[in-house]
Structure 1
Amino acid sequence: MSATHGKFIWCELMTPDTSAAAKFYSSVVGWTTSEMKVEGMPPYTIFEANGIGVAGLMEFPAELEGKGIPPNWTGYVGVDDVDQSARDFAANGGSVRRPPDDIPSVGRFAVVADPHGAVLCIMTPAPMDKAFPELAPDAPGNIGWHELYAGNGKDAVSFYSKLFGWTKDSEMDMGPMGVYYLFSHNGKQIGGMMTKPENIPMSFWSYYFIVPTLDAAIERVTSGGGKIVHGPMEVPGGSWIIQAMDPQGAFFCLVAPKR
């Protein structure tokens, strides 16, 4: 496996109102936006922090309407061979929701789901003449944490370790909420997994965007029409988090080093 196999490389929002979403997240997270044009593809907006692209925004696809899929954030994980990884997902109890396909000049991707239905995109990026700049891992505007509400947390750790080479870093007993498993990629802690509470109807991945302070961000969420669904809460290590819904109904999370 290469160093990029199993690395979260992108995060993307599908929403029915891209202009409203661009305004909301620019306010809440502090992102700026730019437009990317790819021949034969619908308009695509890039969310940037310090001029560096960290996430994308696109119109909710018409073919997904009426299928019970809400507006949502989806992560992209880099893989060495998209076609092989898609086969591996299916062979290990997962599924391929969209077969591998090419995005001109960007890369080859597929939409996959784990055995309990949590959806991710996998991608083999197109070869680049030079490496794109990356934000510091803890920089405001970056994606600071990746979290899976799993059908079964322990099984999910095993599944993703096999598919992406992730390693279990440690685990925390959260009492009635069960065990929280922290996982790493190439020795760096990047996220956590837990068995989802019974009141959550489906397994899903969620993404934590870094903001400098949490209380001010909470005010921007609510004044912009969003809704806080959990928190603020301090987490081990001293950071503060909230979980929220944006005005169009997409779930997202914020993390900050202080209130």
Structure 2
Amino acid sequence: MITTDFVPGSPCWLDLGAPDVSAAAAFYGPVLGWEFEPPEGSGDPDGAKASGSSHRSDGFLLAVRGGRTAGGIGLLTERGARSAWMPYFFTPDVHETAASVLRAGGSVRVGPRDVAGWASMAQFTDPQGGQFAVWTPGRSGGGLAAVDDPGGLCWTELYTTDAAGALAFYETVFGWQREDTPMPGGRTYTIVTPAGQPPERMHGGVLEVGTAELALSRGVPAWHPVFAVADCDAATAAVRDGGGAVAMGPEDAPGIGRMSVCVDPSGADFVLMTPAAPGPAAT
């Protein structure tokens, strides 16, 4: 499970690069029950919250659920880049992690920098092409506060063309522990957990796929977020109502939950999941 007790290598932030921040907020508000507000000290003229919409078309917005921060939406400025969600993993030292990424064969997309005293961050590309980032919360404690509950991040997942290479890279950078799980068709799904943490702190998975299965990310390996929702069918209907598309589901995954793979109107993919109810405790 993902928690707010961040340890090295655990997910601690998430944001979306969108071509239109207002339109993205209007879409995700009804789907995930988010409200939006500018970061503190951003100079917003009125600081008003917007439920499912925003008066800011180019500023960064925090997504909030029940008073807790669930992520952010910012303007996509890189020419030719696709709109996508970016996962951030906790590190106590952004500069040290950047050096580790380079030694392991990755590259730096955005070098280490401070985010208005709220956090330090950097963005990278792994050797297979998957993009990810790291985050060190600042004095104000910037980071995810809504996790594992409806509207919050509950899992991260990497689809890659070379699982062995990707896992070797991330183990070098973060020290992740791994557990292989067999899948139908002879494939393997690898569950990852922060170094030194018990199995219940697992936070994501890695799956090797062919290029054809990466159509949503233009054929490039990519991370995507899984958001918890109270009712997968209702949230998926909201995706369609908001102009998004559904690539798969909703369907049941035994022992895991009911889920759907969705795409927002700008092409960013994500997963909705209503987790399965826990089974009866052993006696």
Q: TM-score, normalised by structure 1?
A: 0.89
2:31 match: 28
The CA RMSD measured in Å over matched residues stands at: 2.4
Which residue of 158, 164, 171 maps to 1:161?
Answer: 171
Which residue of 133, 145, 156 maps to 1:134?
Answer: 145
Percent identity over paired residues:
29
Matched residue SS, 1:11: strand
Query: How far off its partner does 1:134 sit?
Result: 3.2
Alignment of 1:38-49 (within 5 A): 38=41, 43-49=59-65
Distance (whole Å) between structure 2 residues aligned to residue 116 and residue 56 of structure 1: 26
2:54 match: none
Distance (whole Å) between structure 2 residues aligned to residue 111 and residue 105 of structure 1: 17
Distance (whole Å) between structure 1 residues aligned to residue 161 and residue 106 of structure 2: 12
Q: Does 1:180 align with 2:189?
A: yes
Query: How far off its partner does 1:236 sit?
Result: 4.2
Query: How far off its partner does 1:170 sit?
Result: 3.6
- Whichever residue aligns with residue 104 of structure 2, its letter is N
- Whichever residue aligns with residue 271 of structure 2, its letter is C
Instruction: Structure 2 unaligned segments of length 5 or more: list them.
Output: 45-57, 277-283
Q: TM-score, normalised by structure 2?
A: 0.82
Matched residue SS, 2:203: strand
Q: Does 1:191 align with 2:207?
A: no
Which residue of 221, 237, 259 maps to 1:241?
Answer: 259
Q: Is the 8 A contact 2:33 2:151 kept in 1?
A: yes
Matched residue SS, 2:211: coil
Matched residue SS, 2:240: helix
Comparing 83-92 and 36-45, the one that deviates more: 36-45
Query: How far off its partner does 1:121 sit?
Result: 1.2
Structure 1 residues 206, 133: CA separation in 2 closer, same or farther (over 3 Å shift)? closer
Query: How far off its partner does 1:131 sit?
Result: 8.7
Query: How far off its partner does 1:80 sit?
Result: 1.4
Q: Is the 8 A contact 2:156 2:225 kept in 1?
A: yes
Q: Is the 8 A contact 1:174 1:180 kept in 2?
A: no
Query: How far off its partner does 1:4 sit?
Result: 2.1
Matched residue SS, 1:36: coil
1:146 match: 156
Give the total of aligned pairs: 251
Q: Is the 8 A contact 1:110 1:122 kept in 2?
A: yes
Q: Is the 8 A contact 1:169 1:189 kept in 2?
A: no
Q: Is the 8 A contact 2:100 2:172 kept in 1?
A: no
